Structure formats: C-alpha cells, structure tokens
Amino acid sequence: MAMAINAEIPVARPFATRILISADDARGKTVHGRDGDKLGTVDKLILDERTGQVAYVILSTGGFLGLGQSYHPIPWSAFRYDETQGGYAAAIDKRLLEGAPSFRPDSAPVFDEAYGRRVTDYFRLPPAATG
C-alpha cells in the first residue's frame, strides 16, 4: 500500500491567524471612531524610514470629489482592524478631530519629529516606535 509522502508532516500555516495587506489595499478603507461613527477613510500610511513600521495613518475626511477635503495624521497606535466593519476602528471620535492637526491636499506638512510630537501630544497617544 502506497503512503502519501507528506501525510504525517503537519502543514505549517504561519499566516493562518494574521492578515497581511498592502499599503495600496489599505487606502480607501473606512475608519470608524470609538462611538461607531464613520470618521473618514485611509488616504495613506506614513512609515518610519528607520524601522519600516507604520507611524501614522492619514485620514481623509469630508469633501466631495476632492473639494473641501482635509487630512488628519493619526498615530498608528490608535488603530485596530475591525473585521465586523471591514475597516479600521480608531480610539478617537469626531469631536476630537475638530481641533486635531490637519492639512489640505495642497499643503502637506513636513513629517519630521517635531510634527510627529505635535500629533501624538494632541491625541495623547504613545509615539510610534522609532529606530
């Protein structure tokens, strides 16, 4: 009787409980606040060049066809993926966004350490890990 070659070798599934997504695929994902309200969508991810880790999510809010749109950098530590919503949940609410650091599409800030500190201080979240 012939036996299957790999019959007794367990199959390793290193990604069975972990979902990987490209930065391109994250763009446009809906972000809900801690109260369940839609805050906006992911516009882009800002990486720390030294560590390669995501440092900030740029949240796109408001606007229609690109008019009246604003962008809010929010520390990555505020986010978690919410499978039930098919998007991200952030540990903030709309009220907190009202005075948050933001910019218009034509006036992006320089994402240096001082700006990062300003953002994390506003949200009272731990800074992104840097190398």
For the sheet with 79-82, list strands across it. Answer: 70-75, 54-61, 38-47, 30-32, 87-90, 79-82
Which pLDDT belongs to residue 66?
A: 61
Which pLDDT belongs to residue 67?
A: 67
**Per-residue pLDDT reduced to its tens digit, 77-98:** 999 998 888 889 999 989 999 8
**Helix and strand numbers, DSSP H then E, in the chain:** 3, 6
Selected from 2.30.30.240, 2.30.42.10, 3.40.710.10, 2.40.128.20, the CATH number assigned to the domain covering 23-122 reads 2.30.30.240
Nearest 5°: the CA angle 23, 25, 28 is: 100
Compare 76 and 21 and report the one with higher pLDDT.
76
At position 116, the amino acid (one-letter code) is G
Question: Domain spans of the chain?
Answer: 23-122
